[in-house]
């Protein structure tokens, strides 16, 4: 099995942050040498980032995820039954796509993105906690008037920099600095309490900044949640 055969269907899981840290590192090494997989990632990433922001806060029906996962398993079973060449040339068969909101997605990736979108909705837990997607690797959890940033599989910031948390107060458009600076743990996880009253915050953002922090964002925004 070639390196591309191993990773040919991994783009959907990658853009959703659903890979274990070690597999993510291996796939990123593969991406550096595989234009086809990089194109798949570039194609799926905007859809993965947009889907969680496209729905009103709601709790999806309990059976919905089961139905989606059943479709994923059905697709996997069909590919397994057809043999290793099932998703190989002719190119039209290998690159078969489903349409989802204008995006053309591979069948398994399409189902994965739907599951990711469900996970990204603002859900209210039994204890009253609401969860807002901040991208494929982070979320903001609001309980009462307290907000907490929770991240998984987040890359470390560039050397010599840290992640800084920003808030955009309701009625304003410019991000304001906080005193929260952090670096994810070795496994990419992190939690950070967000200062201030959650009821006064419209957005929470995270960007990489110099070690001492900045008064205005200067680096890449790696997480962005709208609290509404």
Please check the confidence at residue 117 and state whether its pLDDT lies above 70: no
Q: Of 43 and 213, which is predicted with more confidence?
A: 213
Q: Average pLDDT, stretch 125-152?
A: 87
Give the model's confidence band at 5: pLDDT under 50 very low, under 70 low, under 90 confident, else very high: confident
Q: Average pLDDT, stretch 109-125?
A: 48
pLDDT in tens, 7-19: 777 887 787 776 7
Q: Of 62 and 214, which is predicted with more confidence?
A: 214
pLDDT on residue 62: 55
Give the model's confidence band at 2: pLDDT under 50 very low, under 70 low, under 90 confident, else very high: low
CA distances from residue 80 to 38, 74, 87, 203 in whole angstroms, order as listed? 25, 10, 10, 44
0.75 exceeded by pTM: no
Q: Which of 25-39, 106-120, 131-145, 214-228 is predicted with the least confidence, judged by mean pLDDT?
A: 106-120
Q: Of 166 and 71, which is predicted with more confidence?
A: 166
pLDDT on residue 121: 44
Give the model's confidence band at 66: pLDDT under 50 very low, under 70 low, under 90 confident, else very high: low
Q: Of 109 and 3, which is predicted with more confidence?
A: 3
pLDDT on residue 146: 92
Q: Of 195 and 24, which is predicted with more confidence?
A: 195
């Amino acid at each position: 099995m070639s390196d591309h055969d191993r990773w040919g269907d991994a783009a959907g899981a990658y853009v959703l942050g659903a890979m274990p840290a070690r597999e993510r590192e291996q796939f990123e090494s593969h991406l550096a040498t595989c234009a086809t997989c990089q194109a798949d990632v570039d194609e799926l990433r905007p859809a993965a980032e947009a889907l969680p922001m496209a729905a009103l806060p709601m709790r999806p029906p309990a059976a919905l995820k089961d139905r989606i996962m059943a479709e994923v398993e059905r697709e996997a079973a069909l590919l397994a039954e057809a043999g290793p060449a099932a998703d190989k040339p002719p190119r039209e068969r290998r690159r078969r796509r489903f349409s989802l909101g204008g995006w053309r997605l591979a069948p398994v990736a399409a189902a994965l993105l739907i599951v990711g979108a469900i996970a990204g909705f603002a859900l209210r837990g039994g204890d009253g906690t609401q969860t807002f997607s901040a991208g494929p690797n982070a979320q903001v959890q609001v309980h009462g008037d307290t907000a907490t940033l929770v991240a998984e599989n987040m890359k470390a910031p560039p050397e010599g920099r840290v992640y800084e948390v920003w808030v955009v107060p309701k009625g304003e458009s410019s991000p304001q600095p906080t005193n929260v600076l952090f670096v994810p743990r070795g496994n990419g996880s992190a939690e950070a309490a967000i200062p201030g009253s959650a009821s006064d915050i419209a957005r929470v953002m995270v960007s990489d900044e110099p070690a001492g922090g900045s008064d205005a964002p200067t680096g890449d925004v790696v997480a962005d949640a709208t609290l509404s």
